[in-house]
Structure 1
């Protein structure tokens, strides 16, 4: 025989045993026998031989070939390692039960002999090694009969059950391991509390001792064959090395058609990139839980598979579930949800249309009746003034109604400015005190330091008043209303919309009323939705708050507890302090609406509005020229303005709109003032007035005169023909 280099100390050991007289044993030495190409594992025993006087006269060397035993143990360790890896990687609970029977073969108890980590996670208890009577003494009798029958008959079982011990639903599969005399039962269970879906995992059972190798192999084959889920072992370069029969059942491919093939050969082309990235992660040692892709069936169709894969010892171990049905259900649910959204949208449109028609018909009735009476020549002067006031007031109410509608739809043209929100809240509190009445106590809590936002001040004040009126009505006119300002706060998620960690000013109005019923809290911002009796509200107040908040980059939230009142919180993004105060409103109030013969180019495509506007301007002392579209206006202005002092243009017109005309005039004649008028424009709703003067329709003659007088006031450069 020859010896490997590792054991060339053979003769030194002989000398040591001879000198010391002590025996020596060596375990599994690699020794080359004859012309064999590989070493064999040999156990060697060095035993000193002594004469009658005890002196060492020789050494007995015995050699025992243990190669097969060593190989079996190595295979067992590898098998056990694979088994433990699979056991730990799967998200399916698994345990082995050892049954205890009485003399009548009636199961009276069982012990959790072995369990994987998922067992502890799903049950919430670490009971491995315990008898069930120790941790669940009141367990129902049918559990002992169920698992006992599996152990005695060898017939596997599958059922769904709501476990009283753990309070969840499980999909359970149980089968016997080995012979009846062993009384062992393997149990697989999946937590199906959410969707009650089956999930049976694959476990590879291997023995820990050489004598149990064959038994472990049989156990593994039983589970391997019984599993409805797919299990595979693959190389790190993505080639399939081992598969269970479920692959053929699900995908139609025979084992021989898959083994050795790269699994990318079967992946849907659209999923190749993502699958390659996942495979690269596994090669780097990163587990890939719940990764989904489409795998080709033998008939050419594709199935959606969900992979739980872990790298271990140079291999990839994966359990795979078919989620095609789940994907289909999700798609069907999405279709149903979309249909529901469309239905809700149409319902909202119908509700909105009905509300608008009802309110506007009421307003038009007042105007129509007043005009009819004003046509009577014998009408007394006092009654004439009363009808004129009714028409004017009704127009204001109609304008407010359209403004609220546009605010809810986030389509009103805002005039944003930077202001200290705390200062404005204090100012609005006085108005709120007047609106709510003497029996409502108003409390204001505002920090001393300034807090700036950029928003439309008029809409902001209107929003606070609307919330205050809503609170007053909820308290039936008596209680406490608390206005609180918090600066630098994050905006939380509201009604399913993501929040923001940026700095927001949060203005809260809390009342002491009965609160908002839980079944109505999701509808209070809908237009025309109101719980008030007929005649006490249009249902547009809170919808204006909602639209203003969203269009200003914020949101509005409501919290309420029955009997404890409600709190409405308006979130507006904070802004840097304004460099200088905006004094345009003060300037506008200081000028007269009467003109001094200034030349105005009116651009209006509507014939009735154009005639009426030019008549108003002439009555106010202006000289007017009327163009029916932007193109005609540019032609009349020519290259130098043709002597016009100001251009007054509608925004929404066919062809070139008023805003585009204003930009073109700013480019050509930057000193020529431009005033825009609009009842609604989606462009203005998105980006305010772009720096131009804006007059909202319906406007009064006085409002028109004020703004024209301001932009043409003395001190501005005059244009000449």
Structure 2
């Protein structure tokens, strides 16, 4: 290899020329070439200086790649090709500048450095010269540059960017293809005839569809479509070709054989024969465009018939709509978005009582219940936004001042709203009644459950009171002169108070624990009016109001009076500053669908005061046992519970109507009596001076304390006593011939049989045997027909008198 050739110093004039000729020339002049592989410009070889001078003086994009490092130098036009890579690309390695297309350039550069020039008319490169990838096209020539020894020391490139030209050609091709495709797919038919023989040059799909799929291209029209001869089309075409004037046909019939061997088919076409001229203005052919108007001629008549049918149907539907408008039982009205009513149907008058003329021009808001105004205004805003109203509920004022519940469906249409409203007042009332009935049922179930519980408590408590009373009696009999009598009397008073409390519990528990009898409400209330007035204060006025012909009811008289006293006392306490108490009774007949759930004939008894009333939370609990708003020691909370229990036992119900600050009414429904006497025989009062009896008593009592005190008392009065704990134990004694003069049994006891069952067996086995039953509480009392019943707690002297009377009746019998 030869040594490096001597480099002639770069003329000063050349350096000056570089600095002032072009922008890239100034860049080359100012560049720090000392740190570049090329070195200072003064040391550049003559070949490089010559190429740089040539490149900078050209208006065509050019660049030079020089030396082993392949350093890039370029002119202003090439700087535009570089885009954002310029001016940083100056003096950089060529392949580094174009790193994104390095793989495309390496073969070209290597071939050129190998001494072989490269010429390309079009190359596609994906460049990143503008900050994004883009497709580019170039035409260029890479020319190798040799040194004095013939070695390639660089390359010179002259290039032209052809990107826009390539894209333009593509667009032309695409547009041509698009035009051809549009021509082919055009809904109207197109074809081109050439020459006076009207030879088919091209035709689109629509034309083939019209004439059938036959081979026509390159054939004269008369040969391709022989059946058209004589129908005028060829004559019109000849005339247009000869005169150069277009011919237009509208709805012209054409008989065409669309399938080989098929009969001629009549079609209707609208067309134009448009002459085609060459550059000299001579007619060279015809461009024909048209439409098959046969899915139009054939339907024209059908459309006329359809229009007639539609007109008839519209008239019918209009009549139906008007009929519906007139006859509908639902409210139909039209209003503007500002709620002004513009039309109403006759149902408005039927449902709301307003004549049409009084509603037109009126705002619908004037009829809305105040509590529903905000809901209606919200719906009006939604309708103004184009939204439909579905099942919106509001109350509208009737002409008589009352309100009706209306369920609305409304559809906005332009500036108007079409609304249909259904009167659901009856449904709302039934719903409210059902809710009330359900609440009453829940209350009844709750009180029934508590009642059953209190009934059991009453039974056990009466046994305790009975044992205590018996013990007190026996102590008094055995220690008459010890000074204990005041204490015994106080104890007996406590027993009596406990018995009264238990009596209230029993009244609340079950109806079977009472002794109902037919009762005249009017006579009973009038007879106790003095007692009621004494229970009230002087500043409370009592008024009695009885409807004529009141039915008799069947209740326990004592419990009925106690219920009235309880309600009167509650009313008195609710009127601390005085007021009015009114007791009213009337007959009422309840239908099967009554909200109370009852059916039949009842006496409706109401006790109303003008007192402070009850808050909702108090009213909801007022019938609950032991619930009271009074101070401790001022009430047990059983008063209204006893009232409710009494109505349940009488086959009815009770409820409270009260508004805080506006008084309270307690309403009792008591079923009409159908019997003339009580079903349970009353214990007959003994004669004033009963004859003391004796005999053998079979005592059936499971409570050992009660049994011991009763047995001791009976023995002290002269009776013999045989005691067993259960009815199951007593029955074998009744079956045998053992002496028994009187049967005295508790009703509720453990074992298979209860006291009523034992009494029935005793009557069957010993029909003449006197029987007395005792109970603190039992649901079986009602089954003890014709049997004396003694309620616990009883006094020992009451028991002795009753047994003596029963024994005396046996002797008389």
Give the TM-score taking structure 2 as reference length. Answer: 0.46
Q: 1:173 aligns with which of 411, 422, 425?
A: 411
Counterpart for residue 619 of structure 1 = 716
How far 1:703 sits from its partner (Å)? 2.2
- Maintained 8 Å contact 1:453/1:572: yes
For the structure 1 residues 563 and 642, does the alpha-carbon distance in structure 2 shift closer, same or farther, using more than 3 Å as the test?
same
Q: How does 1:574-593 map to 2 (within 5 A)?
A: 574-575=672-673, 578=676, 587-588=685-686, 590=688, 592=690
- After superposition, the Cα gap between the structure-2 partners of 1:692 and 1:108, relative to the gap in structure 1 and judged at 3 Å, is closer
Q: How far, CA to CA, are the matches of 1:142 and 1:431 in structure 2?
A: 60
Residue deviations 1:73-125 (CA, integer Å, cap 9, x gap): 6645554565567767888766678x9xxxxxxx999994x766677788986
Return the alpha-carbon distance in structure 1 between the equivalents of residues 418 and 358 of structure 2: 15
Residue 388 of structure 1 pairs with residue 619 of structure 2: no
* Aligned partners of 2:331 and 2:345 also within 8 Å: yes
Q: 2:558 aligned with 1:458, yes or no? A: yes
SS of the residue corresponding to residue 693 of structure 2 reads coil
Per the TM alignment, residue 164 of structure 1 is displaced from its structure 2 partner at its CA by 12
Residue equivalent to 1:539 = 637
Match of 1:637 among 725, 729, 734: 734
Q: Which residue of 1 aligns with 2:758?
A: 661
How far, CA to CA, are the matches of 2:350 and 2:531 in structure 1?
Answer: 59
Is the CA contact (8 Å cut-off) linking 1:503 and 1:574 kept in structure 2?
Answer: yes
Q: Which residue of structure 2 aligns with residue 709 of structure 1?
A: 804
Tell me which structure has the larger Cα radius of gyration: 2
Q: Does 1:417 align with 2:648?
A: no
Residue of structure 1 equivalent to 2:699 = 602
Is the CA contact 2:547–2:587 (under 8 Å) kept in the aligned structure 1? no
Residue number among 601, 606, 617 corresponding to 1:502 in the alignment: 601
Secondary structure of 1:616's aligned partner: helix
- 1:406 is aligned to 2:501: no
- 1:529 counterpart (627, 639, 664): 627
Distance in 1 between the 2:387 and 2:659 partners? 50
1:348-359 alignment runs, 5 A limit: none
Corresponding residue SS for 2:670:
strand
Question: Aligned pair in 2 of structure 1 residues 712, 424: CA closer, same or farther (>3 Å)?
Answer: farther
State the alpha-carbon separation in 1 of the partners of residues 327 and 508 from structure 2: 52
CA contact (8 A) 1:599 1:646 kept: yes
The Cα shift of 1:173 comes to 2.8
Measure the CA separation in 2 of the matches of 1:534 and 1:557: 25
Contact kept in structure 2, 1:471 and 1:511, CA below 8 Å? yes
Aligned length: 478
Q: How does 1:136-147 map to 2 (within 5 A)?
A: none
Q: 1:688 to 1:582 in 2, by over 3 A?
A: closer
- Matched residues in 2 for 1:174 and 1:527: separation? 57
Cα offset, 1:540, TM superposition: 0.9
Cα distance change on mapping 1:482 and 1:586 into 2, 3 Å:
farther
Structure 1: how far apart are the matches of 2:789 and 2:559? 15
Q: Match for residue 42 of structure 1? A: none
Superposition deviation, residue 413 in structure 1: 0.9
Q: CA deviation at 1:613?
A: 3.0
Instruction: State the distance in 2 between where 1:609 and 1:345 align.
Output: 33
* Helix, strand or coil at the partner of 1:534: coil
Relative to structure 1, the CA distance from residue 661 to residue 80 in structure 2 (aligned partners, 3 Å threshold; closer, same or farther) is farther
Give a deviation string over 1:153-194, Cα, whole Å, max 9, x none: xxx643688999989885543346xxxxxxx86735667999
**Partners of 1:491 and 1:504 within 8 A in 2:** no
Q: What is the alpha-carbon distance in structure 2 between the residues aligned to residue 386 and residue 682 of structure 1?
A: 37
* Residue 699 in structure 1 maps to residue 797 in structure 2: no
The reply to whether residue 678 of structure 1 matches residue 775 of structure 2 is yes
Structure 1 position 604, deviation (Å) = 2.5
The residue that corresponds to 2:651 in the other structure is: 553
- C-alpha distance in 2 between matches for 1:521 and 1:109: 42
1:315-340 Cα distance to aligned partner (Å, 9 max, x none): xxxxxxxxxxxxxxx9xx99xx99x9
C-alpha displacement at 1:683, in angstroms? 3.1
* Alpha-carbon spacing, 1:120–1:625, altered in 2? closer, same or farther (3 Å): same
Q: Within 2, Cα distance between the matches of 1:633 and 1:689? A: 18
Rate the CA distance shift 1:602–1:563 in 2: closer, same or farther, 3 A. Answer: same
* CA offset digits 1:694-721 (Å, max 9, x no partner): 1122222122212212221156457xxx
Query: In structure 2, do the counterparts of structure 1 residues 129 and 498 end up closer, same or farther at CA, with 3 Å as the change threshold?
Result: closer
Structure 1 residues 82 and 412: CA distance shift in structure 2, 3 A: same
SS at match of 1:538: coil
The answer to whether the 8 Å contact 1:418/1:453 transfers is: yes
1:136/1:165 contact within 8 Å kept: no
Q: Structure 1 residues 630, 495: CA separation in 2 closer, same or farther (over 3 Å shift)?
A: same
Q: 1:543 to 1:623 in 2, by over 3 A?
A: same
C-alpha change, 1:175 and 1:531, in structure 2 (3 Å) is: same
Contact 1:173 1:189 in 2 (8 A): no
Task: Give the direction of change, closer, same or farther, for the CA distance of 1:82–1:518 in structure 2 (3 Å limit).
Answer: same
Residue 562 to residue 128, structure 1, CA distance change in 2 (3 Å): closer
Indicate if the aligned counterparts of 2:698 and 2:742 stay in contact, CA closer than 8 A.
yes
- RMSD (Å), alpha carbons: 6.0
Shift of 1:655: 0.7
Q: Which runs of 5+ in 2 are unaligned?
A: 1-303, 368-372, 398-402
Distance in 1 between the 2:542 and 2:381 partners? 71
Larger mean CA deviation between 559-568 and 625-634 belongs to 559-568
Which 5+ residue runs of structure 1 have no aligned equivalent? 1-65, 100-106, 151-155, 177-183, 195-288, 291-329
